[in-house]
Amino acid sequence: MEVVKYIQSFLINSDLDMYYDKTDTAAVARSSSLIEELGQVEFVFSDKTGTLTCNEMEFRQSSIAGLSYADKVEADKAARDSDDQEGQYTFRQLGEHLKTHPTANVINEFLILLSTCHTVIPETHDDGEIVYQASSPDEGALVKGASVLGYKFHVSATTVMYGVTRRPNSITVNIHGRDLEFQILNVCEFNSTRKRMSAVVRGPDGKIKLYCKGADTVILERLADNNPFVDATLMHLEEYATEGLRTLCVAMREISEDEYARWSAVYDKASTTLVNRATELDKAAEIIEQNLFLLGATAIEDKLQDGVPDTIHTLQEAGIKVWVLTGDRQETAINIGYSAKLLNEEMSLIVCNEESHWETKNFLEKKYRDISGMLNRGDDVE
């Protein structure tokens, strides 16, 4: 039996169908009992980002001031006039709108937000190329997208000798050839509970503004009453999500000197506390992240890795149940499910949006009873 196991391991190691040429990696059987263990697998749980996808984010589309922009626009989707909320404009047209369109100020604030509200560090190579080092690929994609659109977070002449442009309290952004310095007064960092990040920024004009980006669910509930672009932005978010794109909402508000002074005292106290510091900082952020003005939304593409759909289909054919875990919008997750062959058109899609453990349990048990009843009666499951 041990000889058989050894031969099976050798065959796995030598199987060209299991060889991945891009990384020059062959399959490796690390256990002599691998075959028996594989035969016992019933469930496969997989993360989506970086496991099923390439984890290479590309800034593809954006909704700004109720208008949708994209790097490539199909002819049948192109906007027909200067205020077409259902059509799409190209990023080149965005540059033109920044000069003459009534929404130019909103576009400017949108791009400043992408250039300043982040934790990215730029590195300048010997050939002058700027590479953005980001803890999150999404942040890197947004900063790079803003750079392509003329708002370049970069190494300025005064800081090039240190190799960085992010000093402890400032950021340099080149806006269409002009270097402008923005003071970063405070940063309310992202975490899985808050689902958003904010930066309090003093611009070159001396005004203090709060820039905030995050999941649509948390941004939309913190908006002020007078927000003219909500309906159009929601429509665009639905469109982006059905295309499988990762979305974020971006918003801002101007803060008076007096309000900032009062809030800064609360923030400073929270940042120096020794007990429950993270909780106190979240409470401080909650105070300032209110009455926001919605600028729009971003849409980032993260393509599936080669072979993912066929691999998932093969696992399913072998009787293995595949679960994919993701923090994306529901529409995005469903679209990726179809793209990855986790779902197909012949399946009955059951969506569970319950808010508690017991409600979820009751919902699933009811669906199970309904489906079991239909199968017992010989009815088609729809």
Which residues are part of a known binding site for Mg(2+)? Answer: 47, 49
Greatest alpha-carbon pair distance for the chain in Å reads 80
Residue pointed to by tokens 């058109």: 345
- Distance (Å, rounded) from C-alpha 188 to C-alpha 331? 28
* Active-site residue, selected from the candidate residues 15, 17, 47, 76: 47
Tokens of 104: 């130019």
Q: What's CA 362's distance to the chain center, in Å?
A: 32
Task: Name residue 247's beta-bridge partners.
Answer: 299
3-class secondary structure for 256-311?
CHHHHHHHHHHHHHHHHCCCCHHHHHHHHHHHHCCCEEEEEEEEEECCECCCHHHH
**One-letter amino acid for residue 306 of the chain:** D
- Token readout for 192 is 């899985």
Q: Is 225 annotated as catalytic?
A: no
Helix (H) or strand (E) holding 198: strand 196-202
Side chain identity, residue 34: L
DSSP-derived letter for residue 75 is G
Question: What SS3 state is found at 240?
Answer: helix
CB atoms within 10 A of CB 120: 19
Number of neighbours of residue 77 by Cβ within 10 angstroms: 13
What tokens does 67 get? 């208008």
Residue ranges of the binding site for ATP: 47-49, 139, 190, 213, 246, 326-328
Between helix 230-242 and helix 330-339 the angle, nearest 10°, is 20
Using alpha carbons only, how large is the chain's radius of gyration in Å? 25
CA-nearest of 83, 57, 200, 248 to 137 is: 57
Helix (H) or strand (E) holding 96: helix 91-100
Per the DSSP assignment, residues forming a β-bridge with 61 are: 70, 299
**Catalytic positions, written as ranges:** 47
